[in-house]
Each structure stands twice: as structure tokens, then as C-alpha cells.
A and B are shown apart, each in its own frame.
Chain A
């Protein structure tokens, strides 16, 4: 497809989204749904503008994004370190990896009551839960990546007499970069979900708490503004990570 046709299609698909927004407006105005339940896009937009210019939406969004990124960074770091240790050792793979596979199918939010029981309703608790939840995709991807290095590369490292750490750093980790980055992308999504839930449960300052309060107060415009912001955070963080992935893996495409 030539670039011009592609641009036209993109424009068309944006137009479809615009049509959906118009339909939303019409349903909100004439659909007979009480405005308490469904605000039109006009009211949601006004709530966003007012919230950013006079209210605390910017601060709330920042708090949630910070929480998400801190927890995710913690999880990614721990996941890569632990995953590399397990993946690079046969013994650890035999003895510890099966246990990890057993913990993995537990829905991560189920750990939340347990962590609350230990740490109480605090922002630390939210951070810990995010880290526990977001570590799995990274950890398992690292184990997989590190343990599936091409045999010839392993032979190379042996003939170069690299130590275990050096092999890990120079061969196994670069080799599993794609797996790790893919795992980190999933981890970031998990982190956002857990940040939202954690804020709702603990009433910590953030967007999750904000939308819960908005719903309780029947302020549907504010509620939708918050949901839109959540969508935006998800979209932007995912796109950003995609770009980082592309940049970091550029050596692979050659």
C-alpha cells in the first residue's frame, strides 16, 4: 500500500472514532439514559478541562502514574535478576522453576488481601502488590530467554573461557532481551491495573480513588473523565514501551 492510501485509511479510522463520539453524544442527549449514569462527551470533556485547570486531576494522574512506574520498575529489576539466576542454573531450573509455575496462575489481585493483612491499608502495600503482580511476566520471560540461548553461543562463551556472570551479562541477557522487553510490557499493564485497584481499596491519593468517590457521589462526568485518563495512561505507556522496544532491539533487525 502506498503511503498516501495508508494516510487516507488512518484518517478514515479516526473519522470513525469521531463518529462514535458523536453517537455517544446523541445517545446521552436523546437516548433517555439519565445523565447521572451517562454523561455526554461534552460534559466529560468539561470535567477534564476543569479538573486539570482548577482541580487536582493533574496531581491525581501523576500520583497513579508514579505508583505504577515505581512498582513496575521494582518488579522488572527483581524479575530480571531472579530470572537470570534461575535461568542460568540447571539446579535452580529443576528445583525452583516448577514452584514458580504453580504460583503463576493465581490471579495477582488475590494476593492483595494477604498483603493488606501484613502491611495494612498503606501506599507501601499498593507498591508491594504491584511489584508482586508485575514480576511474573518479566521473571518467567527472563528464565525462558536465559535458558534457551543458542547452543553455539554457549560453546563460544566456553571457548572464550567466560565466567558464569560474564556469560550471563554478555551472552544470555542480550540474547533474551526481546523476551524480557515483551514481559516488561505485559508487566506494565498489570501494574496499572493493580495501581487502580490498590487505590480503590486503600483510599490512597490517586485516580483509582478519585473515580470511586466520583461514582459514589453520582458525579458521572468526573467518573468518565477519570476512566478516560486511565485509558490514556494505558495507551501512552504502551506506545512508549513499544518505541523503547524498537529502539533497543534495533540491532536485531540488521
Chain B
């Protein structure tokens, strides 16, 4: 019932869109009826354009996520376990964090040129901050008793991190990575639209520029599906792995 209600309005809009375009015989360079968009979607899927371009985008997005998020884990563990370091770095973080990753596109272009490297570098920069901030709060929010336990057990600093700190902070790190994954896709697509000639973003820009509205809308739809799919996959995993702990963290970052 809930699903039916959710579908009614979009379905009606699509039908109206189709009907108006067909009955008036509108020929447009910027708009195509839904049926043509569907055909273009299937065509681009079958001839390999969409799978190939998606693989390019995901490679850059996930590569950047791994590099940026990975280094942010290390940095956040250091900042979380050594409070003086966190206080000393605070000003630098506050100054660097507001730089929009897209403002660095020209810098990355100048230094690295077109291709994966510049895209991955920009995604990594953008993904670094949310994981750092969430990770830091994850570590400072660990039950103090757990840290006491690790002291009583006389764990070495390294096994304290791997056996106590990281497992306790894991749900928050997962949420941080879920948010960073969305960021990584956004930045990858944005960089492709703005400059980098590869991936779905570039294909979308090319379709719009060459006056193929059917393909353009099909790709827009596909980007939405990819973003939605990634997020639902991670939400599902979060529920499966962490249950109530993950939900509690999502609600109160």
C-alpha cells in the first residue's frame, strides 16, 4: 500500500510527460519522451557504453575513497588517542577543510593532467574530511572503561588500537564511510562533467552537448540508480553488521 502510494505520482507524471510530447508532436533538442529515454537506456546498456563508463567512474570514486578514507582513519586514530595532537591540529583542519574539492580541479589539472590520477586525488581530498571528523568523534566517544580495560591488560599501543579502539569505533567508521561513498560519487561525477574526459559524467555532458536528450536523461537516471544502489547496499550492510548500534550512530553523528 505504501509502495503503491509512492509510485502513483511519479507514474502519473511520466504518463503525462509522454502524452503531452506525443500528442503535440514536440520535437526538442533538450527534452525526449520517457519511452525514447527507456529505449536509449537499453541501447546504451547493451552496446556497453553505460557499463564501461560506470566502471571508469566507480574505479576513480572508490580508488579515491580508499586513499582518502584510509589516510583519514590513520589520522583520526592518532588525533583521537593523542588529545594534544588533536588540539594542535585543530586550526589547520578548520582552515583546510572548507576548501571545496572542486576549486582544486584546476590545480589537479595543472599538476596531474587528465585521467584517473587527478580524479582520484580530488575524490581522496573530499573523502578525507568526513571520515576524519566522524572517526575522531568515534574514538573520543569510546567508553572510557574500555580504555581502562586495555590498560589493565597491559596491551601494547598497537594491540590496544587493533583490539579495543577500532572494534569499538567500527560502527561510526562504517557510517562515516557510507557518507564518504556518496561524496566520492558526487565528486567523481562532478570532476567528469567539469573537465575529465572519462566516466558517466563525461558521457552525460557529451550527450547533452550533442543534442541527444534521450541519452542524456537515460544517463541522469542511471547516475541516480548508481547513487541510490550504493547507498542502499551500504545501509543494508550497516543494518546487517551493526544493527541497533549503527542506527543509533546514524541518528546522532
A and B from one complex: yes
Q: Is the CB of A211 within 8 A of B103?
A: yes
Question: When the two chains form their complex, are residues B2 and A223 in contact, meaning their CB atoms are under 8 A apart?
Answer: no
9-residue interface stretch from B16-24, B42-50, B155-163, B220-228? B220-228
Report A166 CB to chain B, min CB distance, Å. 28
Contact partner of A227 (CB less than 8 A), chosen from B87, B88, B90, B99, is B99
Known: A37-B111, A107-B186, A109-B190. A13 touches B90 (CB 8 A): yes
Chain B residues closer than 8 Å to A238, beta-carbon distance: 98
* Prevailing SS type, chain B contact patch: helix
Assembly CA distance A114 to B185 (angstroms): 18
Please give me the residue from chain B that is nearest to A92 by CB atom.
Answer: B9
**A210 CA to B228 CA in the complex, in Å?**
34
Cβ-neighbour of A196 out of B92, B100, B204 (below 8 A) = B100
- A160: CB under 8 A from chain B? no
Task: Say yes or no for A230: interface residue by CB 8 A criterion.
Answer: yes
Closest A residue, CB atoms, query B104: A227
Kindly state the separation between the CA atoms of A147 and B56 in the bound complex, as whole angstroms.
Answer: 41
Whether A105 pairs with B231 at a CB distance below 8 angstroms is yes
Tell me which of B70-78, B137-145, B164-172, B205-213 binds A. B205-213
Q: Once the chains bind, are B220 and A110 in contact (CB under 8 Å)?
A: yes
- Contact residue range for chain B? 35 or more
Counting CB contacts under 8 A, is B216 at the interface? yes
B14 vs chain A, min Cβ distance (A): 11
Q: How many residues of A contact B (CB 8 A)?
A: 58
Q: Mark A158-192, 1 if CB is under 8 A from B, else 0.
A: 00000000000000000000000000000001001
Does A95 lie at the interface of the complex (its beta carbon under 8 Å from any beta carbon of B)?
yes
CA distance A116 to B182 in the complex (A): 24
Stretch of A14-22, A46-54, A243-251 contacting B (4+ beta carbons < 8 Å): A14-22
How far, in angstroms, from A20 to B211 measured CA to CA in the complex?
Answer: 48
Q: Per-position contact with A for B159-200: 1 when CB-CB < 8 Å, else 0?
A: 000000000000000000000001001100110011100000
Chain A residue with the shortest CB-CB distance to B108 = A215
A contact residues around B231 at 8 Å (CB): 105
Other A-B contacts than A16-B91, A36-B110, 10 sampled, CB-CB below 8 A, are A10-B91, A95-B9, A105-B182, A105-B228, A107-B185, A110-B223, A196-B103, A211-B107, A227-B103, A234-B100
What are some 18 contacts across the A-B interface (CB < 8 A)? A9-B87, A10-B90, A12-B88, A37-B110, A94-B6, A95-B5, A105-B182, A105-B231, A106-B223, A110-B189, A111-B220, A193-B101, A200-B106, A200-B194, A201-B194, A207-B103, A234-B99, A235-B98
